[in-house]
Every structure is written in structure tokens, then in C-alpha cells.
Amino acid sequence: MNKFTVLSTLILASSVALPAFAADTDWFVGGGVGYQQDTIKGDNAQNGEDATYQLRGGAIINDHHRVMGTYSYMDKSSQNLFLASYDYLIPVAQKVNLFAGVSAGLADNKISNESSTDFVWGGQVGAMYEINDSWSTDLTYRYLDQDYSEQATKLDYSQQVVWSVDYKF
């Protein structure tokens, strides 16, 4: 219950603060594909490597703050991730930003016919390239701590490397 309270507070604080930044906001939607490795230990340990697919949307506020909602799917663990993320964007060239941020949300995993929906949290770093005023692409490394623990099997953490393309409107 404590994790739910923290997540609810973060979402509420973000939604209350968002109108204050609305003067210079770029909204976007996009998708990505990448590689994910889950560290699975215990009785039903398995190779946790597979492709991951993502849909995402959010806003870039005042050129330095990005808030985003992401849905991610990985077939091997029948894993559905629902994440809320914040990134701080650091410009390093005219069309290139580096970024670092945090993510939190829920993971629905099914490993060896045991399903569980659990809290997940972590962080990400990466680089974003602005192709033009409407399109951008980024490469992201994300680390997520997971709380899955069913029938003597534990999904400890996940690592992702994802390439994404976004459309700004």
C-alpha cells in the first residue's frame, strides 16, 4: 500500500504542476522497439531475454522537462509494463539532447502460468535527436526494479535498450 501512495502522490503532483508549464509545451506520441533482459531467479528461472515493443505519449515542457506514459510488451514473460516517467533534457548540440530520469508504474507478468501485477520503478538515460520540428528519435537504456515473487520464482529486475520514434503535434 505504501508504494501505491507514493505513486499516487507523484501522479497527482505532476498533473497539478503541468498547467503551470503549459506556455511552452510540445505534445508527442510514438513507438519503439528494443531488447529487454529480465533477471529471473528461483524454481522457474528462465532465460529472460526477448524483444520489447513500446507505445508512448507525453509532453516536453520548456525544452528541458519530459513527462511520458509508456506501455511496453515483452512476449517471453507475457509482460505488460505501464510506466509514468520524467526525464530532464540536457542540450548538447542544436538537435541533440541527452536525458536522465525516473520511471514508476505497474508490471503484469506471467511466468510458468503464475500471473502477478506488481509495482516497478527505476531510471533511464539516453540521447534524443530532433530530425525536424515534428519528428524525433531517441535511444534509451532503462533499469527497472520489479517486485514479482510467485511460487518460489522471483523477477528481480529488468534492463531495456530501446530505440523510439516520436511525432510532435
Q: Which tens digit of pLDDT belongs to each residue from 76-116? A: 778 899 999 999 999 999 999 999 999 999 998 877 677 78
Number of domains in the chain: 1
DSSP state of 44: T
Contact between 103 and 123 (Cβ < 8 Å): yes
Residue range of the domain that includes 72: 2-168
CATH number, domain containing residue 34: 2.40.160.20
Percent of the chain having pLDDT more than 90?
59
Using DSSP, state whether 76 is helix, strand or coil.
Answer: coil
Beta partners for residue 100, in sequence order? 88, 125
Q: What is the C-alpha to C-alpha distance for residues 65 and 160, in angstroms, rounded to an integer?
A: 22
Q: What is the C-alpha to C-alpha distance for residues 67 and 103, in angstroms, rounded to an integer?
A: 10
Confidence of residue 44 (pLDDT cuts 50, 70, 90): low
Q: What is the C-alpha to C-alpha distance for residues 34 and 160, in angstroms, rounded to an integer?
A: 7
pLDDT of residue 5: 56
pTM above 0.85, yes or no: no
